[in-house]
Structure 1
Amino acid sequence: MQSFAKPRALEPLRPLAVHLPSMSYVDVKMRWKKDASFDAVPVLSRARDLRPLVSLARLLSPSPTPVSVVSKLRSSLETPDRRVTSFLRRFPAAFVESVGPEHNLPWFRLPDAAVHLLREERDVFAAGRADVTGRLRRLVLMCPRRRLPLRVAQGMLWHLGIPEDYFKDPDHDIAQDGFRILTSGDGVTCQDDDGRELGLIGDGKGKEMPLSVLQLNAMRKFGSVAKVPVPLFQSKGLRLKRKIQDWLEGFQRLPYVSPYEDFSHINPGSDVSDKRAVGVLHELLSLFVTCSAERRRLLCLRKHLGLPQKFHLVFERHPHVFYLLLKEKTCYVVLKEAYMAGGDTAIEEHPMLKVRKKYIELMEQSQEIIRCRRNRKPIELQSMVSCSGDIEDCTEILS
């Protein structure tokens, strides 16, 4: 029987490459390599104790204060020790203990060195206020909405070197730095739980966006931002496979998207999106005092900076850019460029870094005092913090 159906013309198949997304994501895994040089940096190795120490110093006074005043604030201070009293006793150079008038309860006061450091910290912020608050402004400009929940911004103040009462004390007058606090009654829809967000006066519209650190590095080397490579610093003893080296070379040739630019046109599953995440985290860490932070502290910034869901894998994929410092069951992310580039970088030293280092000296002196007490021997402490504010050589005999 003859079929009356007309034969259907066969359409030529389209080439498979047309259906594949360009610059697709390449899954690369690199093993973690320990670098003892970062473990030897005091400002990094003692970062976990530094923040609660400074917070307690702000709560105490030169006159003796009962420990019960600050013991109830342990959760907000985030002291590693289970008891605040144990933490205070670990640093006798920063907190002087005495016996209270009743019930033999411990009382603590600040020595002259700690009082001076608190005063110096306020003076440094007042002198470099434009630089320090400008880092917070850059963080807000990195957000696509040009706004950041106030509780998230509050958590970043320590890393940015800004006093933690910056938003609470009206004497700081955040309006002179170009900030404003938005609420639900301002005619905007605040996405934060308590209805408060940190915004910019004028929302930063009509103003030129700043250049990132990577773009400034490219300007210094090439004179333009047409090509923006990411500085790589290989760890000692870490050898890469040939295919990973080829991937790194291709990664450097990918187009660079500034953290302050619109990224809505980027495919989230591409290597270009991965390079943008590297650039955002690089710029973020370069704003911090020590160019480092706890990895868990950065999780709250994910959706506000437009980072991927599992952006923490970026630190593992790029060990030449970031170093993961594992210390006391805590993981810190360190920007390698700030510590290994020397003077060949556009990263500027934070004004508050010198003050933090002086706090570290008090912590190191505390170890010497405790060791002396255990051995029941006098000790000579070098480079004590003087009342004039400088680090000078002197000797103190402790019994």
Structure 2
Amino acid sequence: MIFRLEGGTPRAGHLAMLNCASSCHAWACLRPAREHQNMDVLFKSTERRRRHRRKAAAQGAIVWKIVNLTGFKVLPLLALLKQLVVLLVSRQQVIEDPATAAITSTTSSGPHQRHSAIVSRLMRNPKTLLQKLLFSSSPNPIFSLWHHPPPPHSYTQIQTYVEVYMKWKKDPYYDSIDSIHKSLELKPIISLKNFFISSSSAPEDNYCIPISAVSKKGSDFGISIKVARFLRNYPSFFEEFEGPLYSLPWFRLTQKAIELDKEERMVYEEFRGDIIGRLKKLILMSGNRKMLPLKVIKGLRWYLGLPDEFFMDPLDYVGDRSFKIVDIEDGLKGLAISEEYGDRKGGKILSMMQKNAKSRGVYSGGADEAIAFPLYPSKGLRLKQKIKDWLDEFQRLPYVSPYDDFSCLNPDSDISEKRVVGLLHELLCLFVEHAAERKSLFCLRKYLGLPQKVHKAFERHPHMFYLSLKNKTCTAILKEAYHDELAIDPHPLAKVRKEYIALMKESVVMLRNKRMKSCGGFHRENICSEDLRSADDESSQLAEA
């Protein structure tokens, strides 16, 4: 290639030649890539045609196998197919393809000529005709072995399930509530205190018992360490002294523990009706059964605030004819209710949500009324927009009371989920701390109509419930109870439990003082040396100033 430059310097001509050479080199590099792309398109189209031919050949082989298996001769079969095609063409149900469409467009408008043209076109190749009849994928096939019309229920609208995944967000406010998280630590202490009172033969001596009377019953009280060590960890409840024989250790209740026990028993007597009413509401959540096994009730005794005397004779403690003992499967006993109980208006029991909505004037007591749940978002918890939209629609759904019949609800519907959330809200309202270990609620799934994955309800509604992971367990907390104290009726035992927890904290101070007293000399030397060192530092700073 010769470049001819006029009126230019040799240097300019040299640069022009270099630029042209570089452009030629770039075109030479791009040309193989373009050819490669064209080859890919050609290869793909060729492969597509080959697959279509193989599919047609396989279908044709199946057609002739069917013909051979039927035992019919080809000519009578073709005559039968010809009559069938004529009949279907007359009813305008022939298989539509580009070839037949072209024939119908070129022929005259007469129906007889159009039908004869289509039939002659199809009958030229009987193999193609059978293939179209058997393997038609048109919306109105003649008869197909593989095509079935969709069932009628497929045309109905189905509401899709919104997968709500919300990341767990820690909230220090709920993790620092002592009445909830110290409650699990207080439970075995109260059990031991009740055992001291019931088994002691010396109430005048602060209910003292030897360690041998309780040393082998740690599992009954939920204690995983030695009972003697456990008692020594709480000197504000249990006082150790030397026994009358063989210098064996004995324990007795402290005076503060005895005073709190008397206050607790007064609450049980004064608010017996309130405690029994909460138990009745729990049983009425079981729907038409109106029954719960005593084993399940015993597992929730700590949250319901039931005394030990209740399980000795439930009917005698209740003293109400609305309760009765029934036999259930596996030889278990159940506690059932023979008549309805609760706040009645027209025979209807109102939940805590319905009471609050009625007091605000947003609920009239009618059926299928929407009641929005109170939401208390934690700080830093943000929801995606699609989850916010779903939550707004969820709040507008009709509220289903946990005391109403739920047998007619679809378990996969959003209304059923709102019923489950409302039931969990009402259940936590009945408990002492308005909180409970999540695993302790699993025993209610069978009897309260809860789904198998009921724990997902707590995760899908973080504005209503908080899941605390303290104490190596998962505790479900009702947020409304700790934001609006007037919205939920407090449990009668809540105040006494807080006083027990305050007494339990005194044990930590007593043990610390005991350790300080046992090694007092060493601590005094360290304190004196630290005081002298700080005094020297202050004097040196003053001298520099």
| TM-score bracket for this pair, using the shorter chain length | 0.7 to 0.9
User: How far apart, in 2, do the equivalents of 1:65 and 1:221 lie?
Assistant: 55
Partner of 2:220: 76
Three-state SS of the structure 1 residue aligned to 2:251 is strand
* Structure 1 pair 281–358 and aligned structure 2 pair: CA distance change class (3 A): same
Q: 1:208 corresponds to which residue?
A: 347
Contact preservation (8 Å) 1:174, 1:180: no
Offset of residue 170 of structure 1? 7.0
Check the 8 A contact 2:325/2:335 in 1, yes or no: yes
Amino acid at match of 2:456: L
Residue of structure 1 equivalent to 2:394: 251
- TM-score normalized by the length of structure 1: 0.85
Distance 2:286 2:447 in 1: 6
More helix by share: 2
State which of 193, 199, 210 in structure 1 corresponds to 2:336: 199
2:263 corresponding residue in structure 1: 120
Structure 1 position 14, deviation (Å): 8.8
Distance 2:396 2:388 in 1: 13
Secondary structure of the 2:83 match is coil
Q: Does residue 219 in structure 1 map to residue 358 in structure 2?
A: yes
CA–CA separation in structure 1 for the residues paired with 2:351 and 2:314:
31
Match of 2:184 among 30, 48, 67: 48
Which residue is 2:291 aligned to? 147
Compute the displacement of 1:102 (Å): 4.1
CA contact (8 A) 2:315 2:324 kept: no
Task: Tell me, yes or no, if structure 1 residue 358 matches structure 2 residue 499.
Answer: yes
Distance in 1 separating the partners of 2:436 and 2:174: 13
Q: CA RMSD in A?
A: 2.5
Letter of the 2:400 counterpart: V
Counterpart Cα distance in 2 of 1:266 and 1:107: 59
For the Cα contact (< 8 Å) 2:278–2:304, is it kept in 1? yes
Amino acid at match of 1:78: G
Q: CA 1:171/1:17 → structure 2, altered by over 3 Å: closer, same or farther?
A: closer
TM-score by length of 2: 0.63
Letter in 2 for 1:182: V
Could you tell me which residue of structure 1 aligns to residue 517 of structure 2?
A: 376
Question: Residue 57 of structure 1 corresponds to which residue in structure 2?
Answer: 193
Structure 1 pair 282–177 and aligned structure 2 pair: CA distance change class (3 A)? farther
Amino acid at match of 1:376: K
Q: 5 Å matches for 1:15-54? A: 18-22=155-159, 24-54=160-190
Which residue identity is paired with 1:364? K
Q: Is the 8 A contact 1:26 1:271 kept in 2?
A: no
Displacement over 3 Å in runs of 4+ = 6-20, 101-105, 169-173, 201-207
Determine the C-alpha separation between the residues in 2 that align with 1:82 and 1:20: 59
Give the 3-state SS of the residue equivalent to 1:93 in structure 2. coil
1:44 aligned partner, one-letter code = I
1:3 aligns with 2:82: yes
CA offsets, 1:1-49, max 9 Å, x none?
Answer: 5622243863997999843434x43220111111111122111120211
Report the CA distance between 1:250 and its aligned residue: 1.1
The gaps in structure 2 that reach 5 residues or longer are 1-77, 94-139, 142-148, 198-205, 519-545
Do the aligned partners of 1:154 and 1:164 also contact (CA within 8 Å) in 2? no
Hey, what's the Cα distance between the residues in 2 that align with 1:229 and 1:285? 17
Specify the code of the residue in structure 2 equivalent to 1:221: R
Task: Report if aligned partners of 2:371, 2:399 keep a CA contact under 8 Å in 1.
Answer: yes
Deviation sequence 1:166-186 (CA, Å, 0-9, x none):
031479432327322123xxx
Q: 2:305 matched to 1:161?
A: yes
Partner-residue secondary structure (3-state), 1:328: helix
Q: Is the 8 A contact 1:228 1:256 kept in 2?
A: yes
Does residue 95 in structure 1 map to residue 238 in structure 2? Answer: yes
Give the corresponding residue for 2:408.
265
User: Which SS does the other structure have where 1:334 is aligned?
Assistant: strand
Higher relative contact order (CA 8 A, sep 6+): 1
One-letter amino acid matched to 1:154 = K
Using the alignment, how far apart are the partners of 2:357 and 2:461 within structure 1? 20
| Counterpart residue identity of residue 251, structure 2 | F
Structure 1 gaps of 5+ residues are 184-189, 378-399
**1:277 paired to 2:420:** yes
Q: 2:318 aligns to what?
A: 174
Where in structure 2 are the equivalents of 1:256-335 lying within 5 Å? 256-335=399-478
Instruction: Say if 1:133 and 1:177, in contact at 8 Å, map to a contact too.
Output: no
For the structure 1 residues 302 and 14, does the alpha-carbon distance in structure 2 shift closer, same or farther, using more than 3 Å as the test?
closer
Which residue in the other structure is 2:373 paired with? 230
Instruction: Assess if the C-alpha contact under 8 Å between 1:97 and 1:108 holds in 2.
Output: yes
> How far off its partner does 1:201 sit?
3.2
| Percent of pairs with identical residues | 45
